[in-house]
Amino acid sequence: MVYSNKHGRQERRMPASALVFTVAVVLSFLLIVLWILAFPHEVSSYSNATDAVAARRKRETDHWRRCTWRGAQDYIPCLDNKNYLRHNKAHKHFEHRERHCPSEAEQPKCLVPLPPGYKAPILWPQSRDEVWYDNVPYQKLVSFKADQNWMKKMEDKLVFPGGGTQFKDGAGQYINFIQRAYPEIEWGKNIRVLLDVGCGVASFGGYLFDREVITMSFAPKDEHEAQVQLALERGIPAVSSVMGTQRLVFPSNVFDIVHCARCRVRWHGDGGLLLLELNRILRPGGYFVWSATPVYQTDTTDQQAWNKTLAVTESMSWKLVAKQNSNEAAIGVAIFQKPKDNELYKTQKVATTMLPFCPDADNADAAWYVKMRKCIHRIPNSARSEWPAQWPGRVNATPAWLTDSQIGIYGRPAPEDYRADTEHWEHVVHKSYLQGVGIDWTTIRNIMDMNAGYGGFAAALIKQPVWVMNIVPITEPDTLPIIYDRGLIGMYHDWCEPHSTYPRTYDLLHANRIISSTKNRCNVTSLIMEMDRILRPNGWAIFHDQVEVLSKVQEILRSLHWDVFLTYKKDNEELLAAQKTFWRPDASS
């Protein structure tokens, strides 16, 4: 085809394929420029999959073997500590479901196998409704939950009909029912962060995504019911945990709502100890939403449980703001509110039945292996007890309680520090992670930020169809309350110990300065083995750290047959992106 330009000269028009090629070249060039702008680093080394394959051939460190005991494919070191369980028989308070980590010497030096027939998981949002049976082959859970219409096996899939709740027509109807019972609950506006206790297969959390609500779900690890594993396979945030003798690993005053539907927790037991733990983690003015049988059944046992639970809530000065039964489903819900400030405690009529206050020296945010205490934490006399901004503004709003007199994690006054961090991650995520490191983001759903700081990485991803578990390591400044204030979720953890998640539950691990900050305290090889356990095959890790620690990391990753896709170095800083493969070692070697 020809056309005339205004000078009258004839020119050949570019064929479409050449045009596409040119555009592609220009775009690639732009991406590289953007990348270099985002990380003003000299590109001093570049390695690609071809290199990785070559390195794989001459693997000097290939000494791995596969764990071979029965059930090894679902191994969670701190929850499956057979040695501990053999010698400690206490079960009364679910001690056997709490974390008991094996010592470094006791930790098996092997990699967990894949279940037979394991496939790359179904992608979100389809995964909310169906998962591969071979990936989570729990026949027992299917039959156990058959009466509850939670899930069904259909050929090679597990399907979750009707959202898997007590409502025939699904979770959406249940979510509406709660809002009708107490219209001050506005999903996705004043209510953003929710904790679901004993979450089942986490359909409630799965459907709350549609309402812009993010739910942290938890349930104990139980041989028969891998509820949490199913939740994560579906792409719904969850963690194995139990209401036992220790505090949940969350700060105080952070959840907008704590929810329990048939969660099988005896709330009135132990003088209300477990409700006091909910009182600790609920935001001032936050709600406890309870839809278990004591709320709506009239037999003596349920009535007794209701009466006793009500007595505990009264002695914590919680207010019963709604109690309603549903006509569609034979259930009911009770909604309690935690006091907004300390005034209510003063005017408490029956002061004698009040539970005691905790001593001032008891840090309400301390939650890493801290025993629960039978006391009420006073509500902070600061802006920290104010309700955060409405969603979605909340994610980038500066929490009102950060003041100039506090020093932030990078040494500037806290509010300025926080805002600079937000901008930094916005830039890094959009200019490089989302386009420059080789990740196919359509395959990414479950993300863990292993060292989350202010949660800036997660905030920058807020428009993506992903969710982020923000980990604040116990050795770092405690920024977790800030993360919750932004309407994001997270937990405390110590990376010298394995995490309480199942194998193959995350698509992307963000390891920002986590190796250098732990290398003096714990074993780098063990940490990388743990990352290998948590990541799904084809999952990714992005490391950002000092050059010398990452060279060691790269060596370990290659020995694990990960593909190291790129490394960028500048001065003593390095960025490394790597992808786990389906490779597993032989059982014998």
Ligand X SMILES: *[C@@H]1O[C@H](CO)[C@@H](O)[C@H](O)[C@H]1NC(C)=O
Task: Please tell me whether residue 559 binds ligand X under the rule CB under 6 A.
Answer: no
Among the candidate windows 44-52, 120-128, 288-296, 330-338, which touches ligand X by CB under 6 A?
44-52
Compute CA distances 447 → 49, 72, 123, 311, whole Å: 23, 23, 14, 41
Among the candidate windows 32-40, 326-334, 432-440, 521-529, which touches ligand X by CB under 6 A?
521-529
Site for ligand X in 305-364 (CB under 6 A): 307
List the strands of the sheet with 193-197, edge to edge: 238-240, 214-219, 193-197, 255-260, 282-290, 332-337, 319-325
Between 109 and 521, CB nearer to ligand X: 109
How far apart are CB 307 and ligand X at their closest, in Å? 4
How far apart are CB 500 and ligand X at their closest, in Å? 20
Between 218 and 565, CB nearer to ligand X: 565
How far apart are CB 310 and ligand X at their closest, in Å? 8
CA dihedral of 456, 415, 256, 321, whole degrees rounded to 10: -160
Between 36 and 364, CB nearer to ligand X: 36
Joined tokens for residue 223: 């041989």
How far apart are CB 54 and ligand X at their closest, in Å? 8
How far apart are CB 86 and ligand X at their closest, in Å? 22
Nearest to 438 by CA among 564, 533, 312, 545: 564
Q: What CA–CA distance (Å, rounded) separates 500 from 480?
A: 18
Task: Please tell me whether residue 13 binds ligand X under the rule CB under 6 A.
Answer: no
Task: Please tell me whether residue 50 binds ligand X under the rule CB under 6 A.
Answer: yes
Angle, vertex CA 126, rays to CA 120 and CA 127, nearest 5? 50
Neighbours of 406 (CB within 10 A): 11
Residue 247: enclosing H or E segment and its boundaries?
none
Angle, vertex CA 523, rays to CA 97 and CA 100, nearest 5? 10
Q: Counting beta carbons within 10 angstroms of the beta carbon of residue 222, is it exposed (0 to 12), middle (13 to 18) or buried (19 or more)?
A: middle
Joined tokens for residue 142: 């299917």
Among the candidate windows 47-55, 223-231, 400-408, 537-545, which touches ligand X by CB under 6 A?
47-55
Task: Please tell me whether residue 523 binds ligand X under the rule CB under 6 A.
Answer: yes
Q: What CA–CA distance (Å, rounded) separates 444 from 540?
A: 9
Nearest to 195 by CA among 137, 106, 259, 250: 259
Task: Please tell me whether residue 297 binds ligand X under the rule CB under 6 A.
Answer: no
Between 164 and 332, CB nearer to ligand X: 332
Q: What share of the chain is helix, strand, coil (3-state, %, to 5)?
A: 35, 20, 45
Chain length of the chain: 589
Which of 300, 327, 520, 588 touches ligand X (CB under 6 A)?
300
Between 54 and 351, CB nearer to ligand X: 54
Task: Please tell me whether residue 526 binds ligand X under the rule CB under 6 A.
Answer: yes
Task: Please tell me whether residue 293 binds ligand X under the rule CB under 6 A.
Answer: no
Whether the CB-CB separation of 288 and 338 falls below 8 Å is answered with yes
How far apart are CB 259 and ligand X at their closest, in Å? 24
Q: Which residues of 175-196 are buried (b: 16+ CB within 10 A; e: fewer)?
A: bebbeebbeebebbebbbbbbb
Site for ligand X in 267-286 (CB under 6 A): none
Site for ligand X in 98-117 (CB under 6 A): 109
Task: Please tell me whether residue 28 binds ligand X under the rule CB under 6 A.
Answer: no
Between 104 and 223, CB nearer to ligand X: 104
Among the candidate windows 274-282, 317-325, 403-411, 518-526, which touches ligand X by CB under 6 A?
518-526
How far apart are CB 414 and ligand X at their closest, in Å? 37
Between 291 and 309, CB nearer to ligand X: 309
Count interface residues toward ligand X (CB under 6 A): 11
Which of 304, 325, 406, 475 touches ligand X (CB under 6 A)?
304
Task: Please tell me whether residue 525 binds ligand X under the rule CB under 6 A.
Answer: yes
Q: Which residue has tokens 């998640």?
A: 501
Between 294 and 539, CB nearer to ligand X: 294
Q: Which residues pair with 239 in a beta bridge?
A: 218
How far apart are CB 532 and ligand X at their closest, in Å? 12
| Residues engaged in binding ligand X (CB under 6 A) | 48, 50-51, 109, 300, 303-304, 307, 523, 525-526
